[in-house]
Structure 1
Amino acid sequence: MTAPLSTVPGLGAQAGGTDVPALRTATSLVVLAQSTYRSLAALPAGGGDRANPVVRDLISAAVTALGDARSTLASATTGAGGRAQTGPDPVYASVVAQALPTVRSPADVVGLALTLEDVLAQTLVADAAGLSTPALRATVLRLGSAAAARKASLLMVSSLLSSGRSDLVVAPPDLTALPAAVGTVGFPDTRFPTAKASPPEEGSG
């Protein structure tokens, strides 16, 4: 687990006025993503008898990683003089509430997870530029990179599921059988997008 940022000398004193809202909103997206993954794991297509083992493992790993991210962001927020965010992002919480009852297949599971990882990664990357210290920027970019990596894995799985090749979604993969495009489908952008980034005030209430 990442060491709390509050232990970094001088971090709280250097924090800027926009740090806390950005960190709280990022945390709200992490809270929602972790909660959603847990809900997906409880569904037959996510963690039950209709679940793909690779998808099930991705969910389990994400729950752990997002728990670490939540702790890191909470420490960063208190180190910046704010109150740690505990609630989910209100905008995407409604998206999840509408989507969860419709999840029937591994593809549905991956699709919902992709929605949240995409906005989380874009938000973290967009926020990093406005944070007031190198320590905060480095930490938030690291968390953004982790979200982007999960997004890439989900995109590759989604591509195989949507093409009807669920038999190829196995670990370890049969590299000789995978379509050539699977190596690039997880990285569709030449420049990382931030258009979907949540504004700092969205989840910081």
Structure 2
Amino acid sequence: MSFDERALGGLITESQDLQSEAMAQARANLPMLEEIRHERGDVNPGPGERRAFDEGRRSLLARLGLSGGGAAVAGAGIGSALAALLARPAAADTALDIQIFQTASSLEKLAVETYKAALTLPFIKDGNAVVKKFAETTMMQHDEHKKAFQAQSTKLGGQVQDMPNPKYAPVVESTKPTLKAPADVVKLAATLENVARDTYLADLAMFTDANSRFLMATVMGVETQHLATLRAVQALLAGGAPQLIAIPTDIAKLPAAAGSVGFPDAIPKATMASPPSEGAVK
């Protein structure tokens, strides 16, 4: 399928503007994280600490009624009684922040590997040009996210996580043999983007450092954009209208739901969030 390269380039530029803002914040955050590390002390959390943080932080949102529509976010591994949280030594927050960045790194690593594998499939590599360009651009952005999160971990005194997420990597591997059409790839990619978006949303409630919170919120915006695009593509494929996945497209032929399918919830709930310990370096 042919497409208007200039129009597509404009959309990619808009996407890159949001990406550039996130990466600029990541770079600006590094010196401040190093200061925080020295203030709190070097900490590499052990398994016991990771469990304690997860269990403690779970109860915070549950007690405050902020558990993402009930037990969903609490079940994602977030929370701690407020008094207990404030009573913890400052070093404990560093340990938690390291876990958050390590798990985020593992999700980004898996996303990069998944898009890379998808681009080798004939029906993606030689298929819809818009879908292929989206996959290439999104893979590059995830790689930048991964490197940024790894740098944040290092500045806090933690180890670099360069392995794919241990929970979802086996899911991706078991799904690969079943990828027979573009819709299969889009569904898998949307799931990973959903997990990343929900995880970063949940992480916002745990950061004690405002700059790290802003960084995560900015990256979450990029993941939300990815997810919305994939949901729109998924809807068009399911509706038997792959010809409308084009730039420019025939707006008059788009279904009425085209403008809202990418954002089914006005306020997203972190129902698929990964807990900080999930991708932490063991």
TM-score (norm 2): 0.69
Match of 2:186 among 110, 114, 119: 110
Which has a greater percent of helix? 2
SS, match of residue 31 in structure 1:
helix
Show the counterpart of 2:208: 132
Query: Unpaired segments of 5 or more residues in structure 2?
Result: 1-19, 38-92
Contact residue 110 and residue 154 of structure 1 kept, 8 A: yes
Show the counterpart of 1:167: 243
Quote how far apart the aligned CAs of 1:6 are. Answer: 7.1
Cα distance in 2 for partners of 1:65, 1:148 equals 13
Cα distance in 2 for partners of 1:21, 1:147 equals 20
Deviations 1:102-127 (A, max 9, x none): 11111111011001000011101111
Cα distance in 2 for partners of 1:7, 1:184 equals 34
Larger Rg over CA atoms: 2
Match of 1:44 among 122, 127, 131: 122
Quote how far apart the aligned CAs of 1:14 are. Answer: 2.3
Contact residue 232 and residue 258 of structure 2 kept, 8 A: yes
Cα distance in 1 for partners of 2:173, 2:261 equals 28
Partner AA of 1:46 in structure 2: I
| Identity percentage of aligned residues | 34
Match of 1:31 among 109, 123, 129: 109
Deviations 1:26-83 (A, max 9, x none): 11000000110000000112213xx222211110111111111111111111111111
Q: Which moved more, 1:106-115 or 1:123-132?
A: 123-132
Show the counterpart of 1:10: 32
Matches within 5 A, 1:43-192: 43-48=121-126, 51-192=127-268
Deviations 1:156-180 (A, max 9, x none): 0000000101111111222121111
* 4+ runs deviating over 4 angstroms: none
Query: Unpaired segments of 5 or more residues in structure 1?
Result: none
Cα distance in 2 for partners of 1:91, 1:101 equals 18
Show the counterpart of 2:99: 21
Partner AA of 1:25 in structure 2: T
Cα distance in 1 for partners of 2:98, 2:208 equals 10
Contact residue 55 and residue 110 of structure 1 kept, 8 A: no
SS, match of residue 152 in structure 1:
helix
Partner AA of 1:10 in structure 2: M
Show the counterpart of 2:6: none
Contact residue 29 and residue 212 of structure 2 kept, 8 A: no
TM-score (norm 1): 0.94
Distance 1:5 1:78, change over 3 A: farther
Distance 1:89 1:8, change over 3 A: closer
